[in-house]
Structure 1
């Protein structure tokens, strides 16, 4: 297949937000689940969702042009590999992650990116009057979809993480800001002799209880509530953080790392799972495209950033650690390991 002309490639970038809006629409309507048993015409899907057939057909046609759904010769629409990510409650789904990022809470920040560029402040705070994690305490519906999205995307990388890193050498693993416990559950199942401590805010821990029970590790996993900027639980040999450090600027991230340093034993390990950007960016790498856009998401919606290895080394040193190793797993997620300095 030949490369499209530059103007077409540029227009595809310009209109990418329209594709996201279309994905959000069909995700909310549950179209992918309605197609799970086979192809259906737009009229049938419209009746099932209470929408109008022609507008819905036009959305499905646009997504079919992007490989999400396929339009058959008889006019019926069917699933594709990509539409499988829109399914609700199936392994590998990214539906909640999509709805969280493309919904009315997060997406308006992107229209205010210039505010972040000019001031260094989050566009989210300009739009909503508070920072994201403060906002979630006032919007339980968004907090629920956020936590579900984090569990969803964690499930997608958990297998890679346990395949890439040997946790069996640790007696107790503390997951700092561990959400609903999806990753910690996978680690404990891979390291049956280990015990875990899941640490997060009270409302998050309450939502984690059924997840931990469902994964069969409740008898080896202690659930602890608190604020990691105040302290973290003692007693761990390994302290893990997945997509936590990138939420915070260097000052806040250093404070968090120092709280871990205060309780970790001399032979313990800090293991951070975050994107690790190269020092220089080259075009065409899908993982880097996602990583650099996620960095902008950190800019406009929280106070953090995606870091390079050099930035991690400096941050770890400020927090009382030396960077012991860094590698990337197939999904593009980095494993950054620190040892007490």
Structure 2
């Protein structure tokens, strides 16, 4: 069944709930695409030729389920992450898909992996119990043995997730930074300190927009 690019928020009746379900399946497909870093394998595909699943997998065929990857790519095509070239077997990245490559300045992949990843998903699944006043603490606390988010991410064995979280926060800063610099007057300051500023994405946008600021300082743990 092909997915339709129709938000469930715009639908009514039974179609609304089917759409919620279909979009959840797309989320799983796009998350898998990002987690497996498929965009990095597709980024050099020729725009008029694309790549097949076998070309994407390369010499690691024993470590990949080719049929399932093909299904993932078709779902990602419905989501506008990749597009088919010439036939149903060749794929290229769309402009949106290129944002999921490693090191892309948008940090879109980090945001995707954090927002749709197991930690946030598990925490969200605690909502029914939270609403019923069963147990204590936030969703994150309930799935991390009593740790808050920052305590959990500071553990040595969570370094990878911590890096993803930092990238995700940078993506949020990049997305909302334009509105911030256009609606808040920072021109009267010569020094600006961003406390809890993460990678400094917010501050970088402010400094670029207000050259009169002489010093920018980021403080973060």
1:160 CA displacement? 3.9
- Partner residue, 1:66: 79
User: In the alignment, does 2:167 pair up with 1:151?
Assistant: no
Shift of 1:97: 0.6
Number of residue pairs matched by the alignment = 201
SS at match of 1:174: strand
Could you list the runs of 5+ residues in structure 2 that have no partner in the other structure? none
Change (3 A) 1:125 1:93: closer
Alpha-carbon spacing, 1:173–1:72, altered in 2? closer, same or farther (3 Å) = same
Q: Secondary structure at the match of 2:43?
A: coil
CA gap of 1:87–1:160, structure 2 versus 1, over 3 A, is farther
- TM superposition shift of 1:4: 6.9
Check if 1:8 corresponds to 2:15: yes
Partner of 1:171: 190
Does the alignment pair 1:161 with 2:180?
yes
1:132 aligns with 2:152: no
TM-score normalised per structure 1: 0.53
Verify the 8 A CA contact 2:83 2:94 in the aligned structure 1: yes
8 Å CA contact 1:46, 1:52 repeated in 2: no
Contact map agreement 1:72 1:78 (CA 8 A) in 2: yes
1:33 to 22, 36, 40: 40
Deviation at 1:5, TM superposition (A): 7.2
- Cα deviation, 1:140-159, whole Å, max 9, x if unaligned, reads 22212111221233223334
**Residues 107 and 167 of structure 2 are in contact (CA less than 8 Å); yes or no, is this contact kept in structure 1?**
no
Superposition deviation, residue 48 in structure 1: 6.3
Distance 2:183 2:98 in 1: 26
Instruction: Indicate whether 1:42 and 2:53 are aligned.
Output: yes
Q: Structure 1: which 5+ residue stretches go unaligned?
A: 202-341
2:24 is matched with 17
Q: Alignment RMSD, CA only? A: 2.5
* Pick aligned residue for 2:218 from 180, 183, 198: 198
2:114 to 87, 92, 100: 100
CA contact (8 A) 2:107 2:170 kept: no
Map Cα deviations across residues 163-186 of structure 1 (whole Å, 9 max, x no partner). Answer: 343322112222121112111122
Superposition map of 1:1-341 within 5 A: 6-37=13-44, 38=46, 39-47=50-58, 50-74=63-87, 75-119=89-133, 121-129=137-145, 130-138=147-155, 139-194=158-213, 195-201=215-221
Kindly state the Cα deviation for residue 61 of structure 1 after the two structures are TM-superposed: 0.9
1:217-265 Cα distance to aligned partner (Å, 9 max, x none): xxxxxxxxxxxxxxxxxxxxxxxxxxxxxxxxxxxxxxxxxxxxxxxxx
TM-score by length of structure 2 reads 0.79
Aligned to 2:189, what secondary structure does the other structure show? coil
Structure 1 distance, partners of 2:144, 2:121, is 12
Q: Structure 1 residues 64 and 6 mapped into 2: Cα distance closer, same or farther (>3 Å)?
A: farther
Structure with greater proportional strand content? 1
Question: Secondary structure at 2:95's aligned position in 1?
Answer: coil
> Aligned equivalents of 1:116 and 1:152: distance in 2?
29
Whether the 8 Å CA contact 1:67–1:80 is kept in 2: the answer is: yes
